[in-house]
Structure 1
Amino acid sequence: MSLLRFLLCLFIFIGALAATGELALSILLMLRFPPLLLAVVLACWILSRLLRLLPPGQGNPN
C-alpha cells in the first residue's frame, strides 16, 4: 500500500511539474508573440460572453 501511495504522489508531482512548465512556456510565447496574446484574450472574452448567455442549469455557476 505504501508503494502505491508513493507512486501516486510521484505521478502527481510529475504532472504538476509538467503543468507548471507548460504554463511558463505559454506565458513566454504570449509575451514573445503579441498576436498570440491577443488571440488568447479574445478567446477568453468570447468564452465569458458565451457562459453569460447560458441558462443557469447548463454549467454556468452563477
Structure 2
Amino acid sequence: MAILRLLASLFIFVGILVGCITALLLVIVLLRFPLLLIAVLLACWVFSRLLETADEPPN
C-alpha cells in the first residue's frame, strides 16, 4: 500500500511540475510574440462579451 501511495504522490508531483512548466513556456511565448498576446487578449474579451449576452434573459 505504501508503494501505491508513493506512486500516486509522484504522479501528482510530476503533473503539477509539468503544468507549471507549461504555464511558464506559454508566458514566454506570449511575451516573445506580441501579436499573439494581442490575439489572446482579444479572444478573451470577445468570449467575456459572449458570456454576458448569454446570461441576459431574452426580450
Larger helix proportion, structure 1 or 2?
Answer: 2
Runs of 4+ with deviation above 4 angstroms? none
* Number of aligned positions between the proteins: 56
Identity over aligned residues, as a percent?
48
Match for residue 45 of structure 1? 45
Aligned amino acid, residue 25 of structure 2: L
The RMSD of aligned alpha carbons is: 1.5
Q: Does 1:11 align with 2:35?
A: no
* Structure with larger Rg: 2
* Length-normalised TM-score, structure 2: 0.80
Deviates more, 1:34-43 or 1:45-54: 45-54
Q: What SS does the aligned partner of 1:48 have? A: helix
Pair 1:29-2:29 in alignment:
yes
Superposition deviation, residue 54 in structure 1: 2.5
